[in-house]
Protein backbone atom coordinates (compact mmCIF):
# COMPACT_ATOMS: atom_id res chain seq x y z
CA UNK A 1 0.00 0.00 0.00
CA UNK A 2 2.91 2.36 0.59
CA UNK A 3 3.41 2.78 -3.12
CA UNK A 4 -0.08 4.26 -3.52
CA UNK A 5 0.80 7.23 -1.32
CA UNK A 6 2.64 9.48 -3.78
CA UNK A 7 -0.27 9.36 -6.23
CA UNK A 8 -2.73 10.15 -3.46
CA UNK A 9 -0.60 13.04 -2.24
CA UNK A 10 -0.42 14.40 -5.77
CA UNK A 11 -4.20 14.41 -6.18
CA UNK A 12 -4.80 15.94 -2.75
CA UNK A 13 -2.29 18.66 -3.45
CA UNK A 14 -4.07 19.34 -6.73
CA UNK A 15 -7.41 19.57 -4.86
CA UNK A 16 -6.08 21.88 -2.20
CA UNK A 17 -4.26 24.24 -4.50
CA UNK A 18 -7.44 24.58 -6.59
CA UNK A 19 -8.69 26.52 -3.56
CA UNK A 20 -11.82 24.45 -3.05
CA UNK A 21 -13.11 23.77 0.44
CA UNK A 22 -14.85 20.47 1.04
CA UNK A 23 -15.29 20.24 -2.68
CA UNK A 24 -12.74 17.58 -3.64
CA UNK A 25 -13.27 15.32 -5.47
CA UNK A 26 -16.27 17.00 -7.15
CA UNK A 27 -14.25 20.07 -8.03
CA UNK A 28 -13.31 20.27 -11.68
CA UNK A 29 -9.66 21.20 -12.19
CA UNK A 30 -9.28 24.84 -13.13
CA UNK A 31 -7.87 24.35 -16.62
CA UNK A 32 -6.66 27.92 -17.00
CA UNK A 33 -4.65 27.66 -13.80
CA UNK A 34 -2.59 24.77 -15.14
CA UNK A 35 -1.49 26.12 -18.50
CA UNK A 36 1.89 24.74 -19.57
CA UNK A 37 4.52 27.41 -20.19
CA UNK A 38 5.40 27.77 -23.88
CA UNK A 39 8.36 25.54 -24.75
CA UNK A 40 10.97 28.05 -25.86
CA UNK A 41 12.83 25.72 -28.19
CA UNK A 42 10.02 24.13 -30.12
CA UNK A 43 9.16 25.65 -33.50
CA UNK A 44 5.63 27.08 -33.76
CA UNK A 45 4.66 24.61 -36.49
CA UNK A 46 5.59 21.66 -34.30
CA UNK A 47 3.66 23.15 -31.38
CA UNK A 48 0.58 23.36 -33.55
CA UNK A 49 0.68 19.62 -34.35
CA UNK A 50 0.98 18.81 -30.67
CA UNK A 51 -1.59 21.11 -29.08
CA UNK A 52 -4.76 19.12 -29.77
CA UNK A 53 -3.13 15.81 -28.93
CA UNK A 54 -1.83 17.15 -25.62
CA UNK A 55 -5.19 18.60 -24.62
CA UNK A 56 -6.60 15.08 -25.08
CA UNK A 57 -3.80 13.66 -22.95
CA UNK A 58 -4.51 16.25 -20.28
CA UNK A 59 -8.20 15.28 -20.12
CA UNK A 60 -7.39 11.55 -20.16
CA UNK A 61 -4.84 11.93 -17.38
CA UNK A 62 -7.26 13.86 -15.14
CA UNK A 63 -9.75 11.01 -15.53
CA UNK A 64 -6.97 8.49 -14.97
CA UNK A 65 -5.96 10.04 -11.64
CA UNK A 66 -9.53 9.90 -10.33
CA UNK A 67 -10.10 6.39 -11.69
CA UNK A 68 -6.93 5.24 -9.93
CA UNK A 69 -7.73 7.04 -6.67
CA UNK A 70 -11.17 5.48 -6.51
CA UNK A 71 -9.82 2.08 -7.61
CA UNK A 72 -12.08 2.10 -10.65
CA UNK A 73 -10.02 -0.52 -12.46
CA UNK A 74 -12.28 -0.80 -15.52
CA UNK A 75 -12.12 2.92 -16.24
CA UNK A 76 -8.37 3.00 -15.65
CA UNK A 77 -7.94 0.16 -18.17
CA UNK A 78 -10.17 1.90 -20.75
CA UNK A 79 -8.41 5.25 -20.42
CA UNK A 80 -4.99 3.59 -20.64
CA UNK A 81 -6.07 1.68 -23.75
CA UNK A 82 -7.24 4.93 -25.30
CA UNK A 83 -3.84 6.56 -24.73
CA UNK A 84 -1.97 3.46 -25.93
CA UNK A 85 -3.89 3.14 -29.17
CA UNK A 86 -3.76 6.80 -30.16
CA UNK A 87 -2.11 7.24 -33.57
CA UNK A 88 1.50 8.35 -33.14
CA UNK A 89 3.35 10.95 -35.11
CA UNK A 90 5.55 9.14 -37.61
CA UNK A 91 9.31 9.54 -37.55
CA UNK A 92 10.38 11.69 -40.48
CA UNK A 93 11.55 9.87 -43.62
CA UNK A 94 14.31 12.40 -44.11
CA UNK A 95 15.69 15.56 -42.54
CA UNK A 96 13.90 17.53 -45.23
CA UNK A 97 12.79 20.72 -43.48
CA UNK A 98 9.54 20.74 -45.45
CA UNK A 99 8.49 17.63 -43.57
CA UNK A 100 6.80 18.84 -40.41
CA UNK A 101 7.77 15.87 -38.27
CA UNK A 102 11.44 16.60 -39.03
CA UNK A 103 11.08 19.56 -36.67
CA UNK A 104 10.89 17.12 -33.79
CA UNK A 105 14.02 15.48 -32.34
CA UNK A 106 14.43 11.69 -32.15
CA UNK A 107 13.88 11.84 -28.37
CA UNK A 108 10.32 12.98 -29.03
CA UNK A 109 9.54 9.80 -30.95
CA UNK A 110 11.26 7.63 -28.34
CA UNK A 111 9.20 9.20 -25.52
CA UNK A 112 6.07 8.89 -27.62
CA UNK A 113 6.73 5.13 -27.94
CA UNK A 114 7.48 4.89 -24.23
CA UNK A 115 4.18 6.60 -23.42
CA UNK A 116 2.25 4.01 -25.44
CA UNK A 117 4.19 1.14 -23.81
CA UNK A 118 3.53 2.48 -20.30
CA UNK A 119 -0.14 3.06 -21.06
CA UNK A 120 -0.30 -0.58 -22.20
CA UNK A 121 1.25 -1.56 -18.87
CA UNK A 122 -1.56 0.23 -17.01
CA UNK A 123 -4.15 -1.46 -19.23
CA UNK A 124 -2.58 -4.86 -18.51
CA UNK A 125 -2.27 -4.35 -14.76
CA UNK A 126 -5.64 -2.68 -14.03
CA UNK A 127 -7.71 -5.88 -14.47
CA UNK A 128 -5.61 -7.60 -11.77
CA UNK A 129 -7.27 -5.16 -9.32
CA UNK A 130 -4.07 -4.69 -7.34
CA UNK A 131 -3.98 -1.10 -5.99
CA UNK A 132 -0.20 -1.01 -5.51
CA UNK A 133 0.42 -2.25 -9.05
CA UNK A 134 -2.06 0.26 -10.46
CA UNK A 135 -0.42 3.09 -8.53
CA UNK A 136 3.05 2.04 -9.69
CA UNK A 137 2.08 1.81 -13.37
CA UNK A 138 0.10 5.07 -13.36
CA UNK A 139 3.16 6.65 -11.72
CA UNK A 140 5.38 5.34 -14.51
CA UNK A 141 2.97 6.70 -17.12
CA UNK A 142 3.04 10.12 -15.43
CA UNK A 143 6.81 9.95 -15.35
CA UNK A 144 6.90 9.74 -19.16
CA UNK A 145 4.60 12.78 -19.51
CA UNK A 146 6.84 14.75 -17.17
CA UNK A 147 10.13 13.71 -18.79
CA UNK A 148 8.92 14.75 -22.22
CA UNK A 149 7.66 18.10 -20.90
CA UNK A 150 10.91 18.60 -19.06
CA UNK A 151 12.85 18.01 -22.26
CA UNK A 152 10.88 20.70 -24.06
CA UNK A 153 10.79 23.25 -21.30
CA UNK A 154 14.47 22.97 -20.50
CA UNK A 155 16.49 21.78 -23.43
CA UNK A 156 17.17 22.86 -26.93
CA UNK A 157 15.46 20.56 -29.38
CA UNK A 158 17.83 18.84 -31.77
CA UNK A 159 17.98 20.47 -35.20
C1 LIG B 1 6.62 12.86 -26.57
C2 LIG B 1 6.60 14.04 -25.73
C3 LIG B 1 5.41 14.25 -24.84
C4 LIG B 1 4.78 13.32 -24.07
C5 LIG B 1 5.11 11.86 -23.89
C6 LIG B 1 3.70 14.03 -23.41
N7 LIG B 1 3.69 15.35 -23.76
FE8 LIG B 1 2.33 16.74 -23.17
N9 LIG B 1 3.32 18.15 -24.26
C10 LIG B 1 4.46 17.94 -25.02
C11 LIG B 1 4.87 19.19 -25.60
C12 LIG B 1 6.09 19.39 -26.49
C13 LIG B 1 3.94 20.18 -25.18
C14 LIG B 1 3.92 21.66 -25.52
C15 LIG B 1 3.04 21.87 -26.72
C16 LIG B 1 2.95 23.36 -26.96
O17 LIG B 1 3.84 23.90 -27.57
O18 LIG B 1 1.99 23.97 -26.50
C19 LIG B 1 2.98 19.47 -24.33
C20 LIG B 1 1.90 20.09 -23.74
C21 LIG B 1 0.96 19.45 -22.94
C22 LIG B 1 -0.22 20.07 -22.39
C23 LIG B 1 -0.65 21.53 -22.62
C24 LIG B 1 -1.47 21.55 -23.89
C25 LIG B 1 -2.02 22.92 -24.22
O26 LIG B 1 -2.06 23.24 -25.40
O27 LIG B 1 -2.40 23.65 -23.31
C28 LIG B 1 -0.88 19.12 -21.67
C29 LIG B 1 -2.20 19.27 -20.91
C30 LIG B 1 -0.12 17.90 -21.77
N31 LIG B 1 0.99 18.13 -22.57
C32 LIG B 1 -0.45 16.72 -21.16
C33 LIG B 1 0.29 15.54 -21.26
C34 LIG B 1 0.00 14.33 -20.53
C35 LIG B 1 -1.09 14.18 -19.49
C36 LIG B 1 0.91 13.41 -20.93
C37 LIG B 1 1.04 11.98 -20.50
C38 LIG B 1 -0.15 11.16 -20.55
C39 LIG B 1 1.77 14.04 -21.90
N40 LIG B 1 1.36 15.33 -22.07
C41 LIG B 1 2.81 13.41 -22.55
C42 LIG B 1 5.10 16.74 -25.21
C43 LIG B 1 4.74 15.53 -24.63
Domain boundaries, the chain: 2-8+43-154
Mutate which of 14, 37, 54 for ligand 1 pocket (most atoms within 8 A of beta carbon): 54
Specify whether the CB–CB gap between 152 and 41 falls below 8 A: yes
Distance CA(125)–CA(139), nearest Å, equals: 13
Report helix, strand or coil for 99. coil
**In this predicted model, which residue has the larger pLDDT, 42 or 122?**
122
Q: Is 54 touching ligand 1 by the criterion CB < 6 Å?
A: yes
**In this predicted model, which residue has the larger pLDDT, 140 or 14?**
140
Distance CA(141)–CA(61), nearest Å, equals: 9
Q: pTM here? A: 0.79
Mean pLDDT in residue range 135-152: 94
- Model confidence band, residue 48 (pLDDT cutoffs 50, 70, 90): confident
Report helix, strand or coil for 132. helix
Specify whether the CB–CB gap between 56 and 49 falls below 8 A: no
pLDDT for 40 equals 72
Distance CA(61)–CA(109), nearest Å, equals: 20
What are the distances in angstroms from CA 104 to CA 48, 95, 119, 156? 12, 10, 22, 11
- Dihedral angle over CA of 11, 16, 20, 24, nearest 10: 30
Specify whether the CB–CB gap between 82 and 60 falls below 8 A: yes
- For residue 108, give the ligand 1 atom closest to its CA: 1
**In this predicted model, which residue has the larger pLDDT, 27 or 159?**
27
pLDDT for 139 equals 98
Distance CA(38)–CA(21), nearest Å, equals: 31
Q: Is 138 touching ligand 1 by the criterion CB < 6 Å?
A: no
Report helix, strand or coil for 89. coil
Mean pLDDT in residue range 123-145: 98
Q: What is 2-8+43-154's CATH number, 3.40.640.10, 1.20.120.10, 3.40.50.970, 3.40.190.10?
A: 1.20.120.10
Amino acid sequence: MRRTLPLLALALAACQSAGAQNACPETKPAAAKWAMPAPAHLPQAARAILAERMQRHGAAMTDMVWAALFLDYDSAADIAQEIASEPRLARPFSQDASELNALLPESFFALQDELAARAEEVARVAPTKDPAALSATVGRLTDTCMRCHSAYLRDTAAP
